[in-house]
Structure 1
Amino acid sequence: MPGAATFILLVEDDPDISAIALMALHLDPNLTVTPMRTGADALHHLRHAPKPDLILADNNLPDMEGVALVRAIRRDMSEPPPIAFFTASVRSADIERYTAAGAVGTIAKPFDPIGLAAQVHRLLRSSFV
């Protein structure tokens, strides 16, 4: 019996990484992914579309830093979805900044495409504990 669909908003400007992440996440038939290339696109989408179950955001976006995106989402939405970073910037100081901004976790790039959906499910479970 299939589970309920889980909606992911992926904010990633690199087209190759985005394509690989989309393919990897779609290995799980219960994940539906909407890709965005910029923070501004993601904010616009969040204002006009149903709320995703999880946002995966790169920290190095062309128009804003991911931490600024997280703060904007948390400021604009009364009940923001869980937000996790999907980034190569994973030094301990980076992770501390992401956590302080309200992120539920971090997925490091490069990532394992086969394990990406499982990482997303772990983030979702941990955000609702």
Structure 2
Amino acid sequence: MNKTHTSTNNANKLAIKMATALIIGLIAGTSFIFLREKLISSGNSDTWTMINNLLFQDITKPEANNAIGIFYIVGQLFINSLQLVIVPMVFTSITLAMCNISDTKKLGRISYKTILGFLGTSVFALILAGI
């Protein structure tokens, strides 16, 4: 009983921390948008350019020679690490699930649906991309 209560309590604490971080991020992002609009409208675009180069600038662009782009770098690291982890995790999950299916007819139906789903989403993505 205590173990279940403790895990539920920890899950609630984690959800509260995640919601708090989300709210703080929304407030910070909105504040930077208002700061940008105020600085540009008041003629202090050089100040905003300095802030943008320090925090947000895409450093792969040619015009970003003197930019640091802290949030850009952290964001790219986060996205790349997610891609690094998710692909093997999904492959492993699918492989283990297929290994646990003992009925070959059921495995064939699931494989057929998986391949059709993959091809369908690929065609849909190609249509959206305009190719």
TM-score, with normalisation over the residues of structure 2? Answer: 0.25
In proportion to residue count, which structure has more helix?
A: 2
Q: Answer with 1 or 2: which has the greater Rg.
A: 2
TM-score, with normalisation over the residues of structure 1? Answer: 0.25
Question: Which structure ranks higher in relative contact order (CA pairs < 8 Å, sequence separation ≥ 6)?
Answer: 1
In proportion to residue count, which structure has more strand?
A: 1
